[in-house]
Structure 1
Amino acid sequence: MPFSARLGFAWHGCCTFAAVLLASDEALDADVRVFAEKAVVQLADGPPSRPPSRTRGRNAMTSSAGPQTGETPTARQKRVWNTMAPGYDKQIALFEKIWFAGGREWLGRRAHGRVLEVAIGTGRNMPHYPSDTSLTGIDLSPAMLAIARRRAAALDSPVELREGDAEHLPFDGASFDTVVCALSLCSIPDPGTAIAEMYRVLVPGGTLLLVDHIASSWQPLRAAQWLLERMTIRAGGEHFTRRQLPLVEVAGFEIAETVRLKAGTIERILARKPTAREADA
């Protein structure tokens, strides 16, 4: 597909998201509402006429992050996230305000004990964990982890950070009381395997906490998401129509809490690994 067509799909998809968010949340901050209103206007103007410059960060994904010959899906994701790392915090901040608002606080309030955060990225959840938790973070990207280490130092927050693969967690079974994964299963190559690994490293009775974007419950927006991911899957392995809840159930977790927000495009899940007695029942 020509670049102009892929850019057009992405542009209209983002504008559609803005329109739905504007309609579905009357409590948006004034500056966020202005942003969404301007984005909706772009539907009439169309996408930019020229491709973005080759800069580091998310814009570079459309031109340089496609699969390379002989590259495994995991190696590709590592390369993509290393490329995105320098600009990630700035780029995600607005989306957190308009789309993912409250998600990190929700995770922090429910985490307890020995906490493992899978795909910790630049460590944006760190400020929200209770002071009495013991945090370990793992991520595929050393560039993201370098930023997370600086954040931990600035917060004076003790945390063990390790490079590793969510599909092959380098921990013994039953090592953690809580496992957290935020906005990452959408791009992990095999989310079912990653969730099974989360199950393995949790103690019986332990808590799984997930926040991610998923396919909308509103069909027109779900169709726009499908069109958008025709580009984003190839460009950076990013899926918009995945849903993690069925995979959590298949892994053997018991669902304790789930809520969908923003026209059904955001889902928060709290699940528990059964105790030995519950598993035998």
Structure 2
Amino acid sequence: MNRHTDIIKKRYDRISSVFDVMDHMIRSSWREELLGNLHGDILEVGVGTGSNLPFYPSNVNVTGIDFSPKMLAKAYGKTDKTAADITLKEMDAQQMDFPDNTFDVVVSTCVFCSVPDPVAGFKEIRRVVKPNGKIVMLEHMRSEHPFAARILDAVNPLTVRIVGANVNRKTIENIEKAGLTVKEQNYLMTSIMRKLVLTPN
């Protein structure tokens, strides 16, 4: 783990006790729509404190990874609130310890604002998802509105320092740089929050 990644990891360890409050920016209805109809072997990248776990259906196997041990400790406390089969692992999304073509579906919710090298993270997702698999995401990113984008650019150094999250990431560009294809893109909160469905080719 490089120095930058270690710094972000420590920031997420630090905010783990209050992260559930922060995570309420993602509405329960959005999580239910994203996760309720999934099937097969699922990887959740950046599982955090486990806010998604209650929304998985009973017929799936979910492996959740996070690089913050304190966030994972909170997630373990939510495993009894889900009908799915859950496995949690401490792991860096930029360097995953899974073979190629392992998962039917990869999930992320507000994760790629904090991955230090988001293109590397997306490339790892592309590697571990099956060729006929898909990636489903709820991600916030830089606004397409010029004025709002300038505001996000201005506050970004502060949000990174406090919580390790970039509020002005050009996530669609990063997805395309990693060789993934955006199949669906729905705006949930102007252009800042979006539901995405990606494929590995």
TM-score (normalised: structure 2): 0.92
Q: Pick the aligned partner of 1:79 from 7, 10, 13.
A: 10
Secondary structure, aligned partner of 2:15: helix
Please list every run of 5 or more consecutive structure 1 residues that lacks an aligned counterpart in the other structure. Answer: 1-70, 275-281
**Which amino acid in 2 is paired with 1:238?**
A
1:229 aligned partner: 156
1:117 aligned partner: 44
- The structure richer in helix per residue is 1
Contact in 1 for aligned 2:54/2:81 (Cα 8 Å): no
**Which amino acid in 1 is paired with 2:26?**
E
**Which amino acid in 1 is paired with 2:179?**
G
Please list every run of 5 or more consecutive structure 2 residues that lacks an aligned counterpart in the other structure. Answer: none
Root-mean-square deviation (Å): 1.7
Contact in 1 for aligned 2:59/2:84 (Cα 8 Å): no
Q: Cα 1:254–1:145, aligned 2, differ >3 Å: closer, same or farther?
A: same
Q: Pick the aligned partner of 1:203 from 130, 147, 159.
A: 130
217-226 or 234-243, which deviates more: 234-243
C-alpha distance after superposition, 1:3-54 (max 9, x if no partner): xxxxxxxxxxxxxxxxxxxxxxxxxxxxxxxxxxxxxxxxxxxxxxxxxxxx
**Which amino acid in 1 is paired with 2:4?**
P
Structure 1 position 223, deviation (Å) = 1.4
- Residue 23 of structure 2 corresponds to residue 92 of structure 1: yes
**Which amino acid in 2 is paired with 1:152?**
T
Structure 1 position 265, deviation (Å) = 0.8
1:127 aligned partner: 54
Contact in 1 for aligned 2:40/2:61 (Cα 8 Å): yes
Which one has a bigger Cα radius of gyration?
1
Secondary structure, aligned partner of 1:102: helix
Q: Pick the aligned partner of 1:264 from 168, 171, 191.
A: 191
User: Runs of at least 4 residues of structure 1 off by over 6 A?
Assistant: none
78-87 or 250-259, which deviates more: 250-259
Structure 1 position 251, deviation (Å) = 2.1
**Which amino acid in 1 is paired with 2:101?**
A
C-alpha distance after superposition, 1:88-116 (max 9, x if no partner): 112322x234xxx6331232035321000
2:102 aligned partner: 175
Contact in 2 for aligned 1:117/1:137 (Cα 8 Å): yes
C-alpha distance after superposition, 1:148-171 (max 9, x if no partner): 111002436421100010100110
1:247 aligned partner: 174
2:115 aligned partner: 188
TM-score (normalised: structure 1): 0.67
Secondary structure, aligned partner of 1:259: strand
* Cα distance in structure 2, aligned partners of 1:269 and 1:88: 23
Q: Give the number of equivalent residue pairs.
A: 200
* Cα distance in structure 1, aligned partners of 2:33 and 2:121: 22
Secondary structure, aligned partner of 2:198: strand
1:160 aligned partner: 87
C-alpha distance after superposition, 1:176-204 (max 9, x if no partner): 00011110100110000000000000111
* Cα distance in structure 1, aligned partners of 2:46 and 2:20: 15
* Cα distance in structure 1, aligned partners of 2:177 and 2:125: 13
C-alpha distance after superposition, 1:109-163 (max 9, x if no partner): 3532100000100111112112111100000111111111110024364211000
* Cα distance in structure 1, aligned partners of 2:60 and 2:81: 18
